[in-house]
Structure 1
Amino acid sequence: MGECPVWHAGEGCFYWTDIPARTLWRIDAAGQGLTHWALPVQLSAFALSEGGGFIAATDRGFARMTIVDDKVAFDFAGGPDLPEGWRMNDGACDRQGRFWAGSIAGKPGVEGEAGALFSIARHGVLEARGGRFQVQNGLAWSPDGRRMYVSDSYPAHPHVLCYDFDPESGERYGGRLFADHATLLGRPDGAAMDVDGCYWIAASDSGRILRMTPEGRIDAEIKVPVPNGTNLCFGGPDLKTALITSMNRDCIGGDIFAVTLPFQGLAEPQFVVK
């Protein structure tokens, strides 16, 4: 289950995680130097951190993640407390450098159980942000930071929500339906943002990555040669290369793909430590 591709401009490399295999991967922009590390936890999402290293979402909550002497080390950041068998899922930084992720049960869809959003900010301040998600995904923010997107991939009701977002407080308001299965013809998974304010979403089960305008219109697509593309990020010197992860289902998928686009991605903010 390839997930959460991240472009590291300083290294000229892409990173991504394989969640159930507990593995972190890296490859350079030319597709060379493939490297991987075994992990002691399930790593679901991560982002670059100011001053080096990463902020991560795991099956033990949030953590600082560093690579030292070719080994990956975790310093757990104090929450959130997760029930047995749960983990964090999709994560990303807002424009102010807070890192967000949602919790997910070991078996989504159990009656009465639902995940919620959490954020961690400078000095390790943890905040519960609410919501009820079976399979939280699709976190992204508009270039001005005043619009927030988040999705639920659960098959019973896959959809993307859009909120007005207060950059200073981190509060979201006025949640409204942005897209559903009828629009996407697939389940919304990981997402990214481009400089035009368009929202790119992996439409899992459909073999497509979709570009959606702020008005919710699909105006471009990437066809992936596997059914379950899971996520994407923009990288390369001009941020016009999309790296796409995928999930192995029925022995189809699990590869990564790169495509050069006529669109430019938006540089993702780093986690603000202090």
Structure 2
Amino acid sequence: MATSRISAAYRFAQPAGAAALLGESPAVDDRTGHVWWVDIAGRQLNRTHKESGETEAWPSPEEPGFVVLLRDGTPAIGMETGIFAFEPESSGFRKLIDQPRGGHRFNDATVGADGTLFVSTMTRDVAAGEAAIFRVDRSAALVPVTDGLTIPNGMVADLKRERFYFSDSEPRTRRIWVADLDPTDDTIGTPALFASMEGLPGRPDGAAVDASGRYWIAAVDGAALYVYTLSGEREFEVPLPVRYPTKLAFLGTNRDSLVVTSKADGQDGGKLLFVTFPHGTIRGTAQHRWRFGG
């Protein structure tokens, strides 16, 4: 199957100080017009206005892996020792859930349409096979989903199609898996290989699905987004002006544009990237909010 490229226009947000060392996990707040995101290596939480591009930044007490929004819009950040709610007015972090595995930190996260949060953990020294994925149940317990990974990423809980995706960014692995997702209790079936990025530029990082169910994933070190059909065929790619894109989220009333985080590369990497397409080219899906404690 031939893979096509689609054209896009790009705009970088003005960073607060230096660009992020390792930007990750864009969380879109449609109510305020902001995008929350983290700098893992720089230990920083950022909030960028999607129209003006102006960015505010707060230091985090630990390495942050992800940020998702609670139902009231409060950002929740997965770090080394737990998941913390952040209050911008006081710059305070309040722990919601413990991360019980010593030497680990939270990495990627996704929220299903029912408000269920899925998270991954990995070792801080990136030990092979020691990473895992969990579902956060209503009692705030971490329920194991799968393990044996190294750099777990690419998570998407697609309840509409009853699918759960995840990837491993480890350079010798570079695979994406899919498993059945039970919409009644959010349990995950046995994973099967969805796609391999072996032989392609880049490694699989953060992901999202569009309105047609196509799986979009950032090719870190590949300067592109790859888009896969439901059957795992690479349908098209979106070239990007940054070498290390890390994760994407859809923007706009019709979800017809993107915001992309990236890793520093000495040029524009590490800045928040806004991507627009010709009218009618794409239609994405909205991010969901975490139903914590209920």
Instruction: Say whether the fold is shared (TM-score over 0.5).
Output: yes
| Poorly superposed stretches of 4+, deviation over 4 Å | 249-252
Aligned counterparts of 2:231 and 2:200: Cα–Cα separation in 1: 14
Equivalent of 1:104 in 115, 122, 128: 122
Q: Does 1:229 align with 2:250?
A: no
Moved more, 243-252 or 25-34: 243-252
Equivalent position SS for 2:198: helix
Aligned position for 1:32 = 53
Aligned counterparts of 1:38 and 1:51: Cα–Cα separation in 2: 22
* Cα displacement (A) at 1:156: 1.3
* Cα displacement (A) at 1:62: 2.6
Aligned position for 1:71 = 91
Aligned counterparts of 1:76 and 1:188: Cα–Cα separation in 2: 29
Aligned counterparts of 1:264 and 1:250: Cα–Cα separation in 2: 32
Q: Does 1:192 align with 2:208?
A: yes
Aligned counterparts of 1:59 and 1:109: Cα–Cα separation in 2: 15
Equivalent of 1:60 in 65, 70, 81: 81
Aligned position for 1:83 = 102
Q: Percent identity?
A: 26
Cα deviation code 1:104-145 (max 9, x no counterpart): 1122244xx511112213342332223211000000122505
Aligned position for 2:34 = 13
Aligned position for 2:192 = 176
Aligned counterparts of 2:150 and 2:181: Cα–Cα separation in 1: 22
Please say if residues 39 and 72 of structure 1, whose CA atoms lie closer than 8 Å, have aligned partners that are also in contact.
no
Please say if residues 12 and 236 of structure 1, whose CA atoms lie closer than 8 Å, have aligned partners that are also in contact.
no
* Cα displacement (A) at 1:249: 4.3
Please say if residues 212 and 219 of structure 1, whose CA atoms lie closer than 8 Å, have aligned partners that are also in contact.
yes
Aligned counterparts of 1:185 and 1:32: Cα–Cα separation in 2: 29
Matches within 5 A, 1:223-262: 223-249=239-265, 253-261=269-277, 262=281
Equivalent position SS for 1:96: coil
Moved more, 177-186 or 198-207: 177-186
TM-score scaled to structure 2, two decimals? 0.85
How many residues are matched?
269
Give unpaired runs (5+ residues) of structure 1: none
Aligned counterparts of 1:265 and 1:70: Cα–Cα separation in 2: 34
Equivalent position SS for 1:216: coil
Cα deviation code 1:49-91 (max 9, x no counterpart): 113313332111233x1324151422231x331213x211111
